[in-house]
Amino acid sequence: DAKTTQPNSMESNEEEPVHLPCNHSTISGTDYIHWYRQLPSQGPEYVIHGLTSNVNNRMASLAIAEDRKSSTLILHRATLRDAAVYYCILTPNNDMRFGAGTRLTVKP
């Protein structure tokens, strides 16, 4: 499985944008880039996924580097409810292997 590297933790101020990076230099051509998050005491929750082009949805945006070796999850205006562990996962199908994600702290 292709490996991803994310910072252990990040901090953000409420209502400011947050850019969560993910490096995946060994990504294969068929790997999709998925982002899930896990809020405290809850199961993981889908955020967004993409293959080559940047993607937007109501929760976030996903910016994918042209060489696909890195990507960035963008939360446009962080709220206190966005405090969670964010996981970047590569897979060509639905099988998710969670690595060590980024713990996002949002300060009021």
Partner 1 sequence: AAGVIQSPRHLIKEKRETATLKCYPIPRHDTVYWYQQGPGQDPQFLISFYEKMQSDKGSIPDRFSAQQFSDYHSELNMSSLELGDSALYFCASSLAPSLGRPDTQYFGPGTRLTVL
Binding site for partner 1 (CB under 8 A): 30, 32, 34, 36, 38, 42-46, 49, 85, 87, 91-101
Q: Single out the residue of 50, 99, 94, 43 nearest to residue 72, CA to CA.
A: 50
Shortest Å distance, C-beta 14 to partner 1: 26
Cα–Cα separations (whole angstroms), residue 28 to 72, 91, 99: 18, 9, 17
- Distance, in Å, from the CA atom of 18 to the CA atom of 30, rounded to the nearest integer, reads 28
Shortest Å distance, C-beta 10 to partner 1: 17
Our CB check for partner 1 shows the closer of 33 and 106 to be: 33
The SS3 call for residue 81 is: helix
Our CB check for partner 1 shows the closer of 26 and 46 to be: 46
Shortest Å distance, C-beta 101 to partner 1: 7
